[in-house]
Amino acid sequence: MKLGAFSVSLNVKDLHVSKTFYETLGFTAFAGDSKNYVIMKNENALVGLFQGMFQGNILTFNPGWDENAANVESFDDVRTIQNHLKANNVTLMSEVDVNTSGPASIMLTDPDGNMIYIDQHR
């Protein structure tokens, strides 16, 4: 399966403090609104910093995108990924309507309760 770009989405207490910390590690702001969230980038590594938007930390995948948020030619649509997961008895927390196309997302947890968000933007 092609899951696309990978990032870790962190729930942070103070966006400015966290942004400064990750800048010290060599990350630079890549995207975001600087009020609620910022996506930080260091080469191919992506860390999303989110203040007050969700609880816990999330592993995020973006089918159809590379680590620069550029479209990739070949990717597995989130509906195909969903069908594969369901065929393998993976329980989904949220599903997408298989009769739609374009942007959509699904959520699941791994066996240890870690949240996984598969978020397709195109």
pTM, 2 dp: 0.88
Cβ atoms of residues 78 and 120 within 8 Å = yes
CB atoms within 10 A of CB 108: 18
Give 90's DSSP letter.
Answer: P
- Nearest-angstrom CA–CA distance, 65 and 70: 5
CATH number of 5-120, picked from 3.30.70.980, 3.10.105.10, 3.40.50.20, 3.10.180.10: 3.10.180.10
Q: pLDDT in tens for each of the 122 residues of the chain?
A: 999 999 999 999 999 999 999 999 999 999 988 789 999 999 999 999 999 999 899 999 999 999 999 999 999 999 999 999 999 999 999 999 999 999 999 999 998 899 999 999 99
pLDDT of residue 11: 96
Q: Cβ(116)–Cβ(108) under 8 Å?
A: yes
Residue pair 119/105 in contact by the 8 Å Cβ criterion: yes
Tell me, what's the pLDDT at 112? 84
pLDDT computed for residue 33 by the predictor: 84
CA distances from 13 to 20, 23, 53, 74, 108 (A): 13, 17, 11, 37, 24
- Selection from 116, 118, 119 nearest residue 56 by Cα: 116
